[in-house]
Amino acid sequence: MSTFGFIKAAAASPRLKVADLEYNVKEIEGLIRASDSLGTAVIVFPELCLTGYTCADLFGQRLLLDKSLDCLAGLLDKTTDCDVLAVVGIPLPVEQKLYNCAVAIQHGKVLGVVPKTYPANYKEFYENRWFTSGYPLSKSITEIRILGRTIPFGSLIFHCEELGCSLGIEICEDLWAVVPPSSYMALNGANIMANLSASNELVSKSNYRRQLVAQQSARCISGYVYASSGVHESTTDIVFGGDCIIAENGSILETSRRFDRGSSVIYSEIDIERLASERQVNRTYADNCEYDGEFRKYRKVDVSYNKPFRVDKDNFTRHVPPHPFIPDDPLSRDERCEEIFNIQVAGLAKRLEHTGTKHAVVGVSGGLDSTLALLVTGKTFGLLGIPAENIIAVTMPGFGTTDATLNNAVQLMKTMQTNVNEINIEPACLRHFKDIGLPEGTHDITFENAQARERTQILMDLANKHNGLVIGTGDLSELALGWATYNGDHMSMYAVNCSIPKTLVKFLVKWIADNVVDYESRDVLHKILDTPISPELLPPGANGEILQKTEEVIGPYELHDFFLYYVIRHGMPPRKVLFLAGLAFDGKYSADEITKWLKLFYRRFFSQQYKRSCLPDGPKVGTISLSPRGDWRMPSDAEANLWLNQL
């Protein structure tokens, strides 16, 4: 069995000599053994790797073809003790025609042979000069004789029931087809695609090739292992770079360093459980599978492994980003922020146009969430040609408000040229505490929530007064944890931040500061970015500092956002989330800390669903939203014990 559904895959580009088969087999054997020692389930080699892809008219030489089979037999003899499933490429004559084939081998045996569907026949590639498409033959025969044995041939999927892994194979040009064979394989259950390739290097071709691999892995909801020929192929007219790629459902997991002079191999873990979960919830995939139209059928070949696949911290090579909502690459991060900001603005603009209102009311605390909501509102009003002074911006200092946050709020409202309002809520709250009999000096949950509800009442009544909309400030992380006062900051008339996690809010505000607003606004935004996250509902310290820090109470938001992503987006069980969090935050949080906050996440997520069941409208900006109307339907009284017990 594999750990948490991960299996290790490898893509290799061996050093070779064109037409020197014994040399090539020795290199291939070494890579097979190395990958097997690491517990690899599948290793993929380039097309025609036994002979070299660039043999050209030498493929017409019987000596070369016979030697290919001899060397394949030698490779089988030398790898009988290897558990890894290796896929190698050879030229294979069948019924007096020559085919460009992939051969799947394991435990010293050939498990099956898959011919190339679309031999390349353009510009620098003239495969039709030597090779025939394997598709017509695959429809007429299902077995061939190789090395004295009858072997499955044609449209095959190599299936391991124990691992839940099904491997489909296509060869180079097949991926470039209008409908690649891997698309049909996916409909027949294959969840990992192997591509044996010989793709030459041209300016910008590598980027296109990697996009193609990533896109096909997304379209098929599969893993994709791509291995291309390297620099030691013939350079008579073209050069190969040894481009190897491992992708999963649209994401590149690992790539090789091209133009390496030695044999190269890359590894990564493919998450079979995650792919199964994605396919299960993707109705388009399910509907495709049920389609009764004409599409290619595949036969399964059983695969078994002698050794269990164990994944732990020491042998896990896949990068697990600690902030899954935030791209690592700065350019991609900027593009993400710009797109999210535009989605927020577009959503609010439509709501304002539909309601015909020319005013909006925003509560501004000097914190990140309300800052983002005000920035979105300001941009929207500019887009619609409505004066910024029609934004009724209100700061409402209370018992816990510090001078720093109050000054930041007022300064931001002024630099954005909004209608500036300051309403101190302390007198109203003190009167309310007296009315309900709350003893003076009591700083309990009633003391805190009464302030939040007082602020919401002010905002709602101002919206009525000005015929405007209250713009919500709460974010996705707060909704997941229920860290909002019911019918307080929980409520608004349009919630622009509702599907943005807390870790991303900070990057959004910084991007807006650096790319959208003027210098004066930028200065105050950077001050807000440096302010600790706090609801400021409890009195500050003697020196006016913030004492009530949210993350000290409910835990680090970066952990909760990590949990949220894998629990909701991928439906992962607690132990798997815990394992991945341990990798992502290695050295920053201990296992006990992560476990503690993960338990809190599950408790709060289950117990606070009633707050999410009545959320106001707001735009979905990413793959996760907790809107009860479109994305997340959960009973408000479900028990968390099943999940907590696993921890």
Closest CA to 362 of 456, 427, 452: 456
Closest CA to 272 of 411, 148, 407, 160: 160
Residue the block writes with tokens 């993929």: 44
What whole-number distance in Å separates Cα of residue 503 and Cα of residue 325? 8
What stretch of H or E contains 167? strand 165-171
Evaluated on CA atoms 564, 566, 568, 571, the torsion sign reads: negative
Tokens of 412: 């931001």
What whole-number distance in Å separates Cα of residue 396 and Cα of residue 424? 5
What whole-number distance in Å separates Cα of residue 551 and Cα of residue 166? 43
What whole-number distance in Å separates Cα of residue 562 and Cα of residue 584? 9
Q: Is 630 exposed, middle or buried (0-12, 13-18, 19+ CB in 10 A)?
A: exposed
Rounded to 5 degrees, φ, ψ at 309 are -100, 110
Closest CA to 10 of 181, 148, 194: 194
Report whether 175 contacts 277 (CB < 8 A): no
Report whether 448 contacts 538 (CB < 8 A): yes
Query: Catalytic residue positions?
Result: 47, 116, 172
Sorted by sequence, the CB contacts under 8 Å of residue 569 that are 6+ apart come out as 623, 624
Closest CA to 198 of 218, 178, 174, 227: 227
What whole-number distance in Å separates Cα of residue 167 and Cα of residue 172? 16
What whole-number distance in Å separates Cα of residue 452 and Cα of residue 482? 14
Strand partners, 43: 10, 86
Cite the DSSP H helix spans in 310-357.
Answer: 330-355
Rounded to 5 degrees, φ, ψ at 299 are -100, 145
Tokens of 272: 């079979």
What whole-number distance in Å separates Cα of residue 412 and Cα of residue 418? 9
Per the rule left: phi > 0, alpha: psi between -120 and 50, beta: everything else, 232 is alpha
What whole-number distance in Å separates Cα of residue 180 and Cα of residue 216? 9
Per-residue CA distances from 344 to 384, 404, 475 (Å): 14, 28, 12
Q: What does the angle CA 469 – CA 471 – CA 473 come to, to the nearest 5 degrees?
A: 165
What whole-number distance in Å separates Cα of residue 169 and Cα of residue 590? 42
Closest CA to 325 of 533, 566, 525, 497: 566
